[in-house]
């Protein structure tokens, strides 16, 4: 028995030594073979959201400012350089100077939400390290650029000798999330079972507290952290504690082309209310539908019936199921004749849909920024957004003393805002739309390019000029 234990211990020790040697060899090989390139860690290049627009605009900005640096995209999608360049143009109107290199990742399942039914945040975070290991072993760039919020990968990128840059859309954990657990509030990220139990809620608070410490530690490894809003900046500075390396760069919003293509006047015979968002749980499409139904029921009989357009994309099977449930719910509420669903639309089609809308809905709590809200405003669509975070702090604010939209928190408040827009005299609607369009100019693509280049050049320039 003692001999068997000795053999088992020796074998285990040998395997661990082999694993450590292999890992060290991979790191040394990666450091020696670093490419003069910027590697963008963006596992999902087909999500169709604001984060994807940031990716393409960031690549374009690097290509313009540092043409000697190659750009590579780490993605789990089956894509080619040409297909990604075409997608950037067709879906977002962003024309890259040249197609980016593609580094295909095959271990993306380790960052999928469904892989971790419990302890999802820490599971996905550790899974991202494994995925990043695959990425960096295949292609080690001088500059590792995370555009998807996987902060746990930063220490690994440092080990491979990369300069770490990130564009953070929202913190993975925030004090607001901890507060809601303490208050035992049931939400998409706080199960009703946990919310109903004081003991489970306190256990989750301990879990969140430990995760916050880890998140702050790994985030501090970034050489430069760009954030998309005042709300995100306050949380990141509190967690990562690198205020001098944290820069607020508003995301690129298509304001100029929308302003040029779309007049402020709208058809009044059949007013359209639009919702542009991925079919994710936090986007609260169900609340939008409920508020719309209530508004239709309360609307004056002599006014035309409005239509509600849901426009968005699905990342996975769960999003597709969520979309189908939304369709089923509209039928149950007997409003399916007034509700339309537009999935994965091309950019030109989105512009056309925005051009016919009078109001745009947004119901996500603590939306870090809200690109779709800015696009509403630039298109002449009056925004009705959630009264929190980015929309409240940065976007739906008065412009030169004039109102630019509505903020709401409950179904009743959304309903009242919808009714106010539908009942609004045309001169008043035009006045709000004009002020909203003017404010949207603060968040243009051109402003993003200017601020983005100013932020990254101190990091990229020394290497680019050597």
**pLDDT score at 254:** 78
What tens digit of pLDDT does each residue of 283-306 get?
999 999 999 999 999 999 889 999
**pLDDT score at 30:** 60
For residue 346, count other CB atoms closer than 10 A to its CB. Answer: 12
Across the range 381-394, mean pLDDT stands at 95
Nearest to 278 by CA among 326, 328, 223: 326
**pLDDT score at 20:** 62
Sign of CA dihedral 87, 90, 91, 95: positive
Range of weakest confidence among 151-155, 166-170, 302-306, 312-316: 312-316
With bands split at pLDDT 50, 70 and 90, how would you rate the model's confidence at 183?
A: low
What tens digit of pLDDT does each residue of 69-92 get?
999 999 999 999 999 999 999 888
Report helix angle 198-219 to 230-240, nearest 10.
Answer: 90
What tens digit of pLDDT does each residue of 336-346 get?
899 999 998 88
Nearest to 323 by CA among 364, 356, 278, 287: 278
Q: How far is it, in rounded angstroms, from Cα 187 to Cα 150? A: 23
Taking the mean position of all CA atoms in its chain, how far away is CA 356?
A: 26
Question: Is pLDDT larger for residue 322 or for residue 315?
Answer: 322
For the chain, give the percent of residues with pLDDT over 70.
87
Q: How far is it, in rounded angstroms, from Cα 311 to Cα 227? A: 26
Q: Is the pLDDT of residue 7 over 90?
A: no
With bands split at pLDDT 50, 70 and 90, how would you rate the model's confidence at 204?
A: confident
Element (H, E) at 359: strand 357-361
With bands split at pLDDT 50, 70 and 90, how would you rate the model's confidence at 175?
A: confident
**pLDDT score at 47:** 76
Mean pLDDT, the chain, integer: 88
Angle ∠(415,419,424) on CA atoms, nearest 5? 150
What tens digit of pLDDT does each residue of 229-244 get?
999 999 999 999 999 9
What tens digit of pLDDT does each residue of 405-449 get?
999 999 999 999 999 999 999 999 999 999 999 999 999 899 999
Range of weakest confidence among 159-168, 193-202, 265-274: 193-202
**pLDDT score at 346:** 85
Q: Is the pLDDT of residue 463 over 50?
A: no
What tens digit of pLDDT does each residue of 372-382 get?
999 999 999 99
């Amino acid at each position: 028995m003692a001999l068997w234990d000795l053999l088992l211990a020796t074998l285990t020790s040998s395997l661990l030594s082999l694993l450590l040697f292999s890992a060290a060899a991979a790191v040394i090989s990666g450091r020696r073979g670093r490419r003069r390139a910027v590697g963008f860690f963006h596992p999902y290049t087909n999500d169709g959201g604001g984060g994807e627009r940031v990716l393409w605009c960031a690549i374009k900005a690097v290509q313009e400012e540092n043409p000697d640096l190659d750009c590579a995209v780490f993605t789990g999608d089956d894509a080619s350089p040409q297909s990604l360049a075409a997608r950037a143009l067709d879906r977002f109107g962003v024309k890259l100077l040249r197609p980016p290199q593609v580094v295909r990742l095959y271990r993306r399942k380790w960052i999928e939400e469904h892989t971790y039914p419990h302890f999802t945040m820490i599971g996905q975070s550790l899974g991202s390290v494994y995925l990043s290991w695959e990425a960096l072993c295949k292609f080690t760039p001088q500059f590792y650029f995370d555009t998807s919020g996987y902060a746990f990968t930063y220490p690994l990128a440092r080990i491979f000798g990369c300069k770490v840059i990130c564009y953070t859309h929202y913190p993975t954990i925030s004090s607001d999330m901890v507060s809601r657990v303490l208050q035992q509030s049931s939400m998409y990220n706080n199960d009703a079972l946990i919310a109903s139990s004081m003991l489970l809620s306190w256990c989750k608070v301990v879990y969140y507290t430990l995760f916050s410490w880890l998140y702050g530690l790994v985030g501090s490894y970034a050489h430069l952290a760009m954030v998309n809003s005042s709300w995100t900046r306050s949380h990141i500075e509190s967690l990562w504690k690198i205020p001098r390396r944290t820069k607020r760069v508003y995301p690129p919003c298509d304001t100029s082309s929308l302003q040029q293509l779309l007049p402020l006047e709208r058809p009044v015979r059949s007013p359209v209310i639009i919702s542009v968002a991925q079919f994710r749980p936090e986007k609260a499409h169900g609340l939008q539908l409920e508020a719309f139904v209530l508004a239709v029921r309360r609307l004056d009989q002599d006014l035309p019936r409005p239509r509600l357009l849901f426009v968005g994309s699905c990342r996975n099977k769960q999003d597709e199921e969520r979309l189908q449930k939304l369709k089923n719910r509209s039928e149950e509420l007997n409003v399916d004749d007034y509700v339309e669903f537009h999935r994965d639309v091309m950019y030109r089609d989105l512009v056309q849909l925005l051009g016919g809308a009078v109001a745009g809905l947004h119901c996500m709590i603590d939306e870090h920024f809200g690109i779709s809200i800015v696009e509403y405003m630039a298109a002449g669509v009056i925004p009705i957004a959630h009264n929190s975070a980015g929309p409240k702090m940065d976007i739906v604010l008065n412009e030169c003393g004039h109102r630019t939209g509505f903020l709401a928190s409950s179904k009743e408040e959304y309903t009242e805002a919808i009714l106010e827009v539908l009942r609004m005299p045309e001169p008043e609607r035009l006045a709000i739309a004009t002020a909203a369009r003017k404010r949207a100019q603060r968040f243009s693509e051109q402003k993003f390019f200017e601020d983005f280049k100013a932020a990254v050049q101190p990091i990229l320039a020394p290497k680019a000029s050597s």
